Amino acid sequence: MRPRLPGTRPRPCGADLRAVGSALVLVLAALAAPAQAGRDARMPASMPAEYASACGDCHLAYPPALLPAGAWTVLMSGLDAHFGTDAQLDEAARARVADWLRGHAATGRRATATASDGRITRTARFTRKHRAVGESVWRSPDVRTPANCAACHPRADQGDFDDDDVRVPGHGRIGR
């Protein structure tokens, strides 16, 4: 028998490697899941030109997958009174943008519980994902409004909201 250090037990090598293997699978799964959760709103390459110019003028050109089709219909039918501003487009452009938004809208469980005003920031999903953000942070001068996604999500314009990249002004990384 080989000499052993006091306090150690002989370990069967095969079982050990299998344990390491399954632990690695679990770690990889844990890493993959949140990354997907933050990147499922990627901006589709087919974006009509007027979407960036007209809808990205006052705020982020929001990726269509942040709202279900019904919410986009409501929003695109009331552009003359759009959250206190006039965001009207000519009818051809409006129809093109509305069709594109609906065609790439949120589906399945991401499409639930949207407030009647069509706000992304009042969807159940938004509220759940931002539980860690306090009211004073939303109202701070660098953020101003929850609608200002890019203040904390550096790649919001590409529809990338991965929680690994979040930087909250004045707080750095939070939520981890």
Q: At 62, which amino acid appears?
A: Y
- Alpha-carbon distance of 4 to 47, in angstroms, equals 67
DSSP classification of residue 171: T
Specify the residue, 22 or 127, whose C-beta has the smaller distance to ligand HEC: 127
Specify the residue, 43 or 54, whose C-beta has the smaller distance to ligand HEC: 54
The answer to whether 65 and 110 are in contact (CB under 8 A) is yes
Determine the 3-state secondary structure of 83 from DSSP: coil
Q: In this chain, which stretch among 5-13, 14-22, 24-32, 83-91 interacts with ligand HEC, using CB under 6 A?
A: 83-91
Question: CA of 116: how far to CAs of 6, 70, 168, in Å?
Answer: 69, 10, 28
Among 58, 81, 95, 124, binds ligand HEC (CB under 6 A): 58
Q: Catalog residues that contact ligand HEC under the rule CB under 6 A.
A: 34, 37-38, 54-55, 57-59, 62, 66, 75, 79, 82-85, 87, 89, 97, 119-121, 129-130, 132-133, 137, 143, 145-149, 151-153, 161-163, 166, 168, 174-176
